[in-house]
Amino acid sequence: MRSTRFVTTGMAAGLVAGAVLLLASCGGDTASQTPEPNPEISTPAPMPSESAESSDVSEPQPVPAPGVTVGAPATVTNELTAPWSVAFYGEIALVNERDSARILEVDDAGHLREVGTVAQASARGEGGLLGMAVQDDYLYAYFTTDHDNRIERYPLSGDTGSLALGSAEVLLADIPAASYHNGGRLAFGPDGMIYATTGDAGDTGLSQDLDSLAGKILRLTPDGEVPSDNPFDGSYIYSYGHRNPQGIAWAGDGSMFASEFGQNTWDELNIIEPGGNYGWPIVEGIAGDESYIDPVQQWEPSEASPSGIAIVGDSIFIANLRGERLREVPVSAPHSSVNYFVGEYGRLRDVVSTPDGGLWVVTNNTDGRGSPGADDDRILNVAT
């Protein structure tokens, strides 16, 4: 098992010290205090997690013409409980469930078949089996155990109707975990490296600490090593100063986008730069502080709580939990957006591009925070 590897730098020490001084000088800064539980969350928690915000700033202006024509969704399957992530092994669709830790194959008729389970995954609050990605006959999984978050990979064998998981290999362990703010998204970048989002695990100071993997976006080789060209020598950290990022995707020009849950004011869409500091817990949303990278768009969390994202053509699609909508943001004009299906399907956890260039959207109404209907939870095929 590989344990975490970091490097302690003067830069890190300076950032943390600066953060402490700034928070100390701002006695009314809510980011430095434990917030009140969000009354809209059905399961009480020590801090608000995926959905907790309000503000009075106007909505971004909608784009005149969306880049992708979005049609009426069709149900692929409706037999899921707290699904979290979808990945494709060639043409074979795989979906997982957070609490049961099952990985399921979805056939053309929408029937589900269990491929395997992640034995050490521990369902607690927002934790459990989270992100999933597939590359080169391996399935990669990000999950919460009883004491940490970790990334494992499993060899895949078989074909449609007979797919199976081999023995687990731990790539990275000891990522801080809690019952909330675990991050959890996995995705392969155009460079062939695997990226993982991590939350602050309820300890906000860790996001600015370059000796901690919490509140970061990480970059690993497919074998779990630290890439030689990572921005901090010997460290998995690619960017930092994040609260709870849960969506990552790349545009055709290589630009990396990430969605992030804010705390009391703003949820965010960020363009990720290697070594970039995105400000949490010092700032939230667009702050205009040159010390930190501002998001390209922000939303009131009552209309957002952005989780998984996907890019099709020149459009970023964002699945929103509390906001109960699919949002489209043009890559070429990321300060504007268009909403679809507002309130029609409840909480949306993930959106993924299919091998044929379409979109699948995953609902998340059975996770303890939604109001499930007879057809929940499901995967929707959105015509494009």
Supply the residues annotated as catalytic: 181
Helix residue spans in the chain (DSSP H): 10-25
- Is residue 31 a contact partner of residue 23, using CB atoms and an 8 Å limit? yes
| Residues forming a β-bridge with 272 | 256
Distance CA 295, CA 280 (A): 12
Task: Give me the sign of the Cα torsion angle 204, 131, 217, 336.
Answer: negative
Structure tokens given for 60: 């971004």
User: Left, alpha or beta for 368 (phi > 0: left; psi -120 to 50: alpha)?
Assistant: left
Q: Which pair of tokens denotes residue 6?
A: 């970091």
Q: Is there a contact between 353 and 338 (Cβ–Cβ < 8 Å)? A: no
DSSP, collapsed to helix, strand or coil, labels residue 92 as strand
Identify the CA nearest to 196 among candidates 167, 156, 230, 157: 230
- Tokens 């460079």 label which residue? 191
Q: Which two tokens stand for residue 154?
A: 């499993």
> Alpha carbon of 210 to those of 13, 172, 214: distances in Å?
8, 16, 9
Q: How far apart are CA 268 and CA 277, in angstroms?
A: 14
Cα 50 from Cα 224, distance rounded (Å): 28
Nearest Cα to 122, choosing from 164, 179, 172? 179
301: cis peptide before it, omega within 30°?
Answer: no
- CA–CA separation, 198 and 115 (whole Å): 26
Instruction: Tell me the sheet residues that pair with 268.
Output: 260, 298
Beta-carbon count within 10 A of 113 CB: 12
- Are the CB atoms for 248 and 197 separated by under 8 Å? yes
